[in-house]
Amino acid sequence: MEAMDTSISTEEKKRRLEQKVFVNRSLTLENIKCYGFDMDYTLATYTSPDYESLGFEQIRDRMVSIGYPHEILRYKYDPSFPTRGLVVDTTYGNLLKVDSNGNILVCSHGFQFLKGHIFYPYYIKLSSHQDLEKYSLLNKLFVPSIPVLNSSSLLKGFQHGDLLMSYRSMFQDVRDAVDYTHDTGSLKELTTKNLEKYVVRDPNLPVLLTRIKEVAKVFLATNSDYYYTEVIMTYLLESNVKPGSPRKSWRSYFDLVVVDTKKPLFFAEGTVLRQVDTNTGKLRIGTYTGDLQHGTVYSGGSSDIVCDLLGVIGKDILYVGDHIFGDILKSKKRQGWKTFLVVPELTKELQVWEERKNIFEELKCLDLYLAELNKMDMSYGQMGSLLRSGSRQTLFASQLMRYADLYSSSCLNLMHYPVNYLFMAPPVLVSPPLWSNITERRLTAESDSGMKKLQSNVHLLVINISHTEDGCLYPCTHEGFIVNLRCTH
């Protein structure tokens, strides 16, 4: 549900849909004493699909360099195909989109989408704790779609000449290639050479951080190294000053800056806290055990150390990040921090919903063909919506609602709310309010005089939208064939 104030202000009415912050659990900003931010994909937004294409090319080239056929060089990044929250079956090489209960909603093999009767026999006998090592969850924003698993038959490997490789081996090679591009810094090097192309510079960012710092403490905790953080944050904050405004260091926007945090380890035992020499970028010897020094950049550490340095406790902190497990789940589960999940895909999700919601408005009075609803799903991309598939809430959506207190398409949307704002979650008795109830019934042309033009035994939908509120983004549609994967990742 969208955030609610005690009174409906003119300012609130003017908020555009993509500027809204949505609420899973009530939260009063006035009680927040400290704001924490991740950098990549949170404060630093990367240009899409240019940045994903760059990463795709780096990974693709790495795959060829370790022996994969040169034919894969002809593949280009397709932004309509991948989405977060997909599950990879590393035995049969399938990409699975599942709901919150593990039911399979969409199954593709390479770029070929499979019908239910084809993939059903391969998953029907799975139990909730059986063969879970076969599956890997793709929940990061940086998940380029490497199409080396493109094959037309459900075999347990890929044949190239006299070479047979298992899908599990290929998937691990892709994972290793992703790690390689990050560990060697090749992707970051290309990014820093063309910041204007790959990094979005928003003039509202310094305004937001200044506003927050007036009422609370602010810290930056990023997995990136100091050099990359320095380049990105300088570009975002020091090169983003309005004419006539005083120029100040990007570090002055924060009470504490920590790089190389190694999240999610950062939220557990963490690593040694060391100071960074900002002149050379090198780490100073020894473990830092002193008090907080403003303007100093630290490396490593843990969430406990951050709380001690800033003099705050878990419930005082609102942490803003983009990764459900690395940022949101761990910070909430282990530290009790309040959480704000950045979901850039919401911009497209809301746009499609706004453009196509007339379909559901018509459903209040009429039953529509399922094909019309399928057209709406395909407007999101080949895999459909990030948050729903037919009547089913996706696994990503269930994780979002479970672990994030707030979520929005950008952390900058906090700009549109007062710093003492009350984000009010709707009262819920049983089911989440994000989804409307749905009932399926079978009607015949003879039993309904108003639908005589329809053929007999057509599946129709009756949508109960009686309790749909402003925050209920996606009323349900119908998905005809469901297989239970019982994935518990």
Q: What positions carry a catalytic annotation?
A: 38, 40
Please tell me whether 316 is known to bind a ligand.
no
Please tell me whether 470 is known to bind a ligand.
no
| Number of other CB atoms surrounding residue 418 within 10 Å | 14
CA distances, 14 to each of 67, 134, 186, 228, 342 (Å): 55, 48, 43, 37, 22
**Angstrom distance (rounded) from CA 3 to CA 291:** 37
What contacts 232, CB < 8 A, 6 or more positions away?
39, 44, 192, 195, 199, 224
Q: What is the DSSP letter of 238?
A: I
| Number of other CB atoms surrounding residue 99 within 10 Å | 24
Measured at the CA of 434, the angle between CA 429 and CA 437, to 5 degrees, comes to: 70
**Angstrom distance (rounded) from CA 51 to CA 191:** 8
Please tell me whether 176 is known to bind a ligand.
no
| Number of other CB atoms surrounding residue 475 within 10 Å | 23
Backbone angles phi, psi at 101, to 5 degrees: -105, 5
| Number of other CB atoms surrounding residue 392 within 10 Å | 24
* Binding-site entries for Mg(2+): 38, 322
List residues forming the annotated binding site: 38, 40, 322
> Which residue positions form the known binding site for GMP?
40
